Structure 1
Amino acid sequence: MELSSILQPEAVRVLNSLTSKKRLFHELGEIAASVYHLPQSGTVESLMERESLGPTGVGHGIALPHARLEGLDQVRGVFLRIEKPLDFDSVDRQPVDLVFALLAPSASGVDHLRALALVSRTLRDPDICAKLRANEDPATLHAVLTELPTSEAA
């Protein structure tokens, strides 16, 4: 599984600021509706329901909200870079400026977990996060997220 198969270029956005997690989930729902043709209200409800089980802010300014949805045939992603970090009740109490939401088919067991692990590994890389925070162009952000490492040697 590769991020390029999960994340469409149109699903990468930069937002100036958001006032709340709820507003963030509405933005994610709007993007999922426009890019992946998912029902906006169902997406928002599913994300909020999952968040009520425990915050998906994983620390270091990163949040990984995720939900399972009817009507999806494969795991899909939405990435947001927020210029003014948002309080997210993260594990380290730091505000969030990088959000990668995963939307999975309701019956996807292992694929959902693999995608979540892939996104988590990618965003644990400080160099990738630095590049994401240094760029405002959605096409560049998509390229940073989906480029495959070419070599371990420098």
Structure 2
Amino acid sequence: MQLADILQQGAVKMLGGCTSKKRLFHDLGAMAEQSYHMPSADVIDALIEREGLGPTGVGHGIALPHARLADVDRVRGLFLRLEKPLNFDSVDRQPVDLVFALLAPEEAGVEHLRALALVSRTMRNPDICAKLRANSDPATLYTILTENQATQAA
């Protein structure tokens, strides 16, 4: 599995003016609806419900919100680079500016975990994060996220 398998180019954005987690989840819901034709309200509700179990801010300015939904055919990804870092109740108490969300089918046990591990490994790479933070063009952000995978696979 590679990031290009779960992330469409249209599901990558630069976002300014996000003021809360709830607002962020609304933006992710709108992106999921636009990119993957998922009902926005279902995505928002699932992300909020999952976040209620514990914060998905993993530290170093990165959040990995994820949820399972009934009407999802396979694991899908959404990436946001936030112009202004947002408090996310992260483990290191640092605000978040890189958000990679995963939406998976309810029954996608192993596939969801593999995707989460892949995203986590990618986002732990300081060089990738530095490049993501240095760019604001969605096409460039998509290339940064997916080219590393292609290089490692070769």
Write the deviation string for residues 21-75 of structure 1: whole angstroms up to 9, x where unpaired. 0000000000000110001101000000000000000000000000001111110
Structure 2 gaps, min length 5: none
| Correspondence for 1:114 | 114
Within 2, Cα distance between the matches of 1:10 and 1:137?
Answer: 12
Amino acid at match of 2:60: H
Q: Distance in 1 between matches of 2:150 and 2:29?
A: 31
**Structure 1 runs of 4+ with >4 Å offset:** none
Partner of 2:76: 76
| Higher share in helix | 2
1:85 alignment partner AA: P
Secondary structure of 1:4's match?
helix
Percent identity, please: 70
- Give the match's secondary structure for 2:8: strand
Matches within 5 A, 1:41-60: 41-60=41-60
User: Which residue number corresponds to residue 85 of structure 2?
Assistant: 85
Question: Partner of 1:9 in structure 2?
Answer: 9
User: What amino acid maps onto 1:43 in structure 2?
Assistant: V
Alignment partner, residue 30 of structure 1 = 30
What TM-score does the superposition give when structure 2 sets the normalisation length? 0.96
Q: C-alpha separation between the residues in 2 aligned to 1:150 and 1:40? A: 34
Counterparts of 1:102-141 in structure 2 under 5 Å? 102-141=102-141
Q: Secondary structure at the match of 1:150?
A: helix
Matched residues, number: 151
8 Å contact from structure 1 (residues 17, 86) kept in 2: no
Deviation at 1:112, TM superposition (A): 0.2
- Show structure 1 runs of 5+ residues with no match: none
